[in-house]
Chains A and B, each alone.
Chain A
Amino acid sequence: DAKTTQPTSMDCAEGRAANLPCNHSTISGNEYVYWYRQIHSQGPQYIIHGLKNNETNEMASLIITEDRKSSTLILPHATLRDTAVYYCIVRVYTGANSKLTFGKGITLSVRP
């Protein structure tokens, strides 16, 4: 799977949008971008994934650049409960290689 790079940490004010960047410059055509988060040692929580097009669900939006070398996870109205480590993972969606490779992630701190 392609390697991803994320800033170590960032913060945002409660109620504002949180934009979390991720670089994946070596991504292949059959690799998806996945986002998970881990809130204080709980089990990782799936957020969203996408291939080429932008995606939105009840939790977040995922914006993928046209060249697919980077993406941004957007939490539209961050709350204190969104404070967590967010992992950007690039993963092949076909074939037998099913494991998720977690990096260090980005620590998001939402301040009151």
Chain B
Amino acid sequence: NAGVMQNPRHLVRRRGQEARLRCSPMKGHSHVYWYRQLPEEGLKFMVYLQKENIIDESGMPKERFSAEFPKEGPSILRIQQVVRGDSAAYFCASSPRTGTDTQYFGPGTRLTVL
């Protein structure tokens, strides 16, 4: 049973470009979470999604960031007009039944903004 998949593993963007991070949950998991880890800091929750629905986006920056989890395909975290402060590791986690089940994390996408 494959774990949570994230791609790309490393992403380099110039200021002002768009970044798209993809997350495929574990098989049978319908709940996805995104977390961000800034350099030398802890992990911070960003958003929690079920299929086609955003359940909790209390940790998402108000501008430039969006997330989706369509009926078919992976979850996408989209960052528009990236700035240097967006450089971080972005981790996706998934859980099986309800939002309160154990979350299993992917390997992360490391975003570098030049």
Contacts and interface: CB of A to CB of B under 8 A. Distances in A.
Quick one: which of B91, B98, B105 has the most chain A CB within 10 A? B105
Given A42-B107, A43-B108, A103 B100 contact: no
B111 to A, nearest CB: 13
Given A43-B108, A96-B56, A102 B42 contact: yes
Given A43-B91, A44-B91, A99 B105 contact: no
A19 to B, nearest CB: 23
A53 interface: no
B12 interface: no
A43 B107 contact: yes
Interface residue SS majority, chain B: strand
B95 to A, nearest CB: 8
A45 B105 contact: yes
B103 A100 contact: yes
> Size band of the A side of the interface?
20 to 34
A91 B102 CA distance: 10
Contact of A98 (B35, B56, B107): B56
Interface string B85-114: 000010101010011101111111000000
A98 B31 contact: yes
Nearest to B98: A98
A96 B42 contact: no
A99 B56 contact: yes
Interface of A: 34, 36, 38, 41-46, 49, 91-105
Given A43-B106, A43-B107, A45-B105, 20 more contacts: A38-B43, A41-B108, A42-B108, A43-B4, A43-B108, A44-B43, A44-B91, A44-B105, A91-B100, A95-B100, A96-B99, A97-B56, A98-B100, A99-B33, A99-B58, A99-B59, A100-B33, A101-B45, A102-B42, A102-B43
